[in-house]
Structure 1
Amino acid sequence: MRTYDAVVVGAGQAGLSASYHLRRLGLDHVVLDADATAGGAWQHRWDSLTMHDVHGVAALPDSAAPAGDAGRANVVVPAYFAAYERELDLPVLRPVAVETVEDGPDDLLVVRAGARSWTTRTLVNATGTWRRPFVPRYPGTETFRGEQWHTVAFPGPEHFRGRRVVVVGGGASAVQHLGELAPVTDTFWVTRREPVWRSDDFTPDRGREAVALVEERVRRGLPPASVVSVTGLALRPQEQEAARLGAYEWHPMFLAVEPDGVRMPDGTLEPADAILWATGFRPAVAHLAPLHLRSELGGIRLDGTTAVADQRVQLVGYGPSASTIGANRAGRVAARSVQRYLASAQSRSSAASS
């Protein structure tokens, strides 16, 4: 059976970046992607999210990013990723839904997807978070007579026209959803903590500082926080109308959900026809469970992109590289870490046989 130098799981921005740098280093690898087509999580985002909304994306290595025009992000970015894979002839296999990664013989790893398996010396995990939407539990949620949606399946603002929507969450997705919804319907925003608004421009230096703060969490073995949790929130031009309408007047989190609305801490019932959970995602790493990577603090402790508990494993698209700010850098760091590990393993093998 063929033994790869590395198997990359996931072909989003971080996974493609890792593949690019692995190839530049001459390392034999394959990229396994669960989707049937290129584009990573971008292909699943809501239709109303445009390139203008997201101000473009970070370019893939040695490639210019798509222009920030008004094209749909779930069309423009996947087309860009597909062209990148094709032009560089990256070794992407799809659809391959990896189920487990486990120890194999001779310090190797075995990656399994149904009846198929791949043997590798190292693993670069780039599965991101999109496949694990998070909805917190509140009393009475199952009794609500209206609709409940999560960001992962947001149907667009027109779906909610004329309905009162409770938007839950204090991150960038909540701000974007409110920006789209407020001009067409009545909204009510609730968050667990008071939103923190950014008062300065988001410069490259600020981006690096934000990534460093999230890196510190994963270095300690804590569950990763989102980059926006340390950068703060900001309103873009397209959200100014929602601000004028009062959409960003936040309210404390409700205590319970009832059939016709949500019960607030002061005892009042806020009526609602729909609840939109903009409550984020969790890392999609269940397939790594056999390797026992989690620390006692609940996260996977990293040194750079290397799992401290198992140096054969690199994580990109996790923690600081879960956003476009850090994804490309993480792919480069992971590839170099794979190269160093392989050189060290070769050195140990040579010493043992001499």
Structure 2
Amino acid sequence: MSEADAEPAEPTEPTPGRTEVWIEKYRPQRLDEIKGHEDIVPRLQRYVTQDDLPHLMFAGPAGTGKTTSATAIAREVYGDDWRENFLELNASDQRGIDVVRDRIKDFARSSFGGYDHRIIFLDEADALTSDAQSALRRTMEQFSNNTRFILSCNYSSQIIDPIQSRCAVFRFTELGETAIEAQVRDIADNEGIEVTDDGVDALVYAADGDMRKAINGLQAAAVMGEVVDEETVFAITSTARPEEVEAMVEHAIDGDFTAARAALEELLTDRGLAGGDVIDQLHRSAWTFDIPEQATVRLLERLGEADYRITEGANERLQLEALLASLALENE
């Protein structure tokens, strides 16, 4: 049996002296423990309590609770037997039609007692090939009497319509600042970590709606010193401060390309940010910059062009410098 095929190991007691991964240690075990999805959780709970679970599709960005929701459903439906009745597959690793035909069918056919159905969770289902999705559609029909499928994907548009029409679709949005802040403070209290208010704000900003990023950032920052503050968070997460990004843009809009290029060089070289990270931060902060609205519109236009070119394989540094140069030339 390959590593990918192995069943998840049973949780064990922490070994003294060994550091636990907090994203697993604090993963919600039940649906009512999931933060930030007040519209989705009650609907999922009703499916569980009424024992009327349909095929489900969870679509949305990474780190928003899709996998956690799937495992929480299994825990609530099957209790202590959830691992025997829950099969998790990662479609990005196992994309072929053989996986659908073999592993899924074998699990769906296997005997089990005491429950009306078993659950197959297919993570990153949008990575499945078209042939595999067609095979999955037929498998969902064939075993609908004793198997429920939960599909997780980043982009539901990559899932064929016949599968989408067989599922109740739930769209997970990026988590709000309140939900991430509450989780960060809860973990900090449980772990006995002193975290400042600006440290929490920095974690929320660096996470950008991704709970995993926030928790990993907190754990990494916690080993750097006794207090988790803004400076530590930005250093450990390789995230630029919003004011640094704003200053770079303002230099360009003021026509000072040399200063803007120097600020970009510091972000890329000294701070270690990737070009895509710089574009993401520019896009997130564009409307919060203290710059004229017309300048923001021009900035967004240039960002879209640079992002497309980088995606197509262009040099990141060259494209970002060209972006700043175009803003500077317009204001000479």
Q: What is the TM-score when the length of structure 1 is the normalising length? A: 0.23
Higher relative strand content: 1
Higher relative helix content: 2
- Bigger Rg, which one: 2
Q: Which has the higher contact order (CA 8 A, sep 6+)?
A: 1
Q: What is the TM-score when the length of structure 2 is the normalising length? A: 0.24
